[in-house]
Amino acid sequence: MIWRMSFFAVLLAFILEQARPLGSGNAIHAGLRAWARWSSRNMDAGRPHHGWLAWAVTAAVPALLALLVHLLLWSAHPALAFVWNVLVLYMTLGFRQFSHHFTDIRDALDVGDEDRARELLAEWQQVDASALPRSEIVRHVIEHSVLAAHRHVFGVLSWYSILAALGLGPAGAVLYRMSEFVSRYWAGSDPKAGEGVSPALQHAARTAWGVIDFLPARMTAVAFAVVGSFEDAIDSWRHYTQGFAGGAHAASQNRNDGVVLAATAGAVNVRLGGSALKAADRLGSDGVGPQPTQATPGREPEVGHLRSVVGLVWRSVVLWMLLLALLTLARLLG
């Protein structure tokens, strides 16, 4: 039954998120950060099994709680479970959690204020962007925006749809977002600075995220290919995914980001990959930052490509909603 309501739950969540997005300092995100800190402090003793235990408690327990609430509300009335699904999707799904960064940088580039665009990019990614030429600003904005869209929208849709079809309600959406969050949050932690996150815990979070994002990344790449230049997207996916193994996207130690970025490059005919942004506070003791990645073929990044990427993403959203609507209709008629 809940699968039949998935389309409407996603649609309402999108509308709510567009009308009233969560602020950057909202209590929900603050609570999740506190939960991650508590788990790492109390369960991370530096060994591999401790790392996996801390990850399971931090990422899997919230997903399990979301499932239990869903089942309890479902037993009371399906409408209550539907409202719960909408609320969970509202908290985990949406463009407005990152799109203001993209919009502000694009507006700065439109009026020729490249210094402002560099400042905004540096603030968004916490990096040094002071020496970037215009085309490189555009390239990095495309890469980070596409990955953000994948993680905040398409990846959530993938896991929500799969587990909702199995009767597990919004557990998939929570598991996906929590896995992405802790992988990113703990990767930026420095044990030497007293944050207490061991390499074992970082490895567990990174490995789990690679597995969980494997299928959604490829579903996103397929969607981009369908709504973009199909042959070019598939060709780029096949031949240039491995080229993103280094650089700014190497922290995940998997090819998932490369799949999404390579498909994007082919879908809109833009060159992606190359020198990675470096953050001074994240450099290793040897002063070596992220390594350059292999660049894909395509046109030099320009402001017009930002509009092409926006169109690509929104067409993919429409494709997703159309598929959910058709599946919902088939279930209702069946």
- The pLDDT score that the predictor gives to residue 288 is 44
Q: Residue 100 belongs to what domain range? A: 2-278+289-333
Number of domains in the chain: 1
User: What are the tokens at 153?
Assistant: 């929208």
- The pLDDT score that the predictor gives to residue 165 is 86
Q: What is the largest CA-CA distance in the chain?
A: 63
Q: What is the mean pLDDT of residues 184-203?
A: 73
Asked if residue 284 belongs to a domain, the reply is no
Q: pLDDT: is 131 or 224 the higher one?
A: 224
Whether the pLDDT of residue 306 is over 90: the answer is yes
Whether the pLDDT of residue 250 is over 80: the answer is no
Portion of the chain with pLDDT greater than 90, in percent = 65
Asked if residue 172 belongs to a domain, the reply is yes
Q: What is the pLDDT of residues 85-98, one digit of tens each?
A: 999 999 999 888 78
Cβ-defined contacts of 302-311 (< 8 Å, 24+): 302/135, 302/138, 303/106, 303/109, 303/110, 303/138, 305/138, 305/142, 305/268, 305/270, 306/102, 306/106, 306/109, 306/138, 306/141, 306/142, 308/268, 308/270, 309/142, 309/145, 309/146, 309/264, 309/268, 309/270
Whether the pLDDT of residue 181 is over 90: the answer is yes
Q: What is the pLDDT of residues 29-74, one digit of tens each?
A: 889 889 999 999 999 888 999 999 999 999 999 999 999 999 999 9
Asked if residue 205 belongs to a domain, the reply is yes
Per-chain mean pLDDT for the chain: 87
Confidence of residue 295 (pLDDT cuts 50, 70, 90): confident
Portion of the chain with pLDDT greater than 70, in percent = 88
Q: What is the pLDDT of residues 79-131, one digit of tens each?
A: 999 999 999 999 999 888 788 899 999 999 999 999 999 999 999 988 888 88
- Of 201-210, 243-252, 282-291, 293-302, give the range with the top mean pLDDT: 201-210
Question: Which pTM does this prediction carry?
Answer: 0.90
Asked if residue 283 belongs to a domain, the reply is no
Asked if residue 91 belongs to a domain, the reply is yes
Q: Find how far residue 8's CA is from the centre of its chain.
A: 22
Asked if residue 297 belongs to a domain, the reply is yes
Whether the pLDDT of residue 287 is over 50: the answer is no
Asked if residue 109 belongs to a domain, the reply is yes
User: What are the tokens at 307?
Assistant: 């509009």
- The pLDDT score that the predictor gives to residue 245 is 63
Asked if residue 187 belongs to a domain, the reply is yes
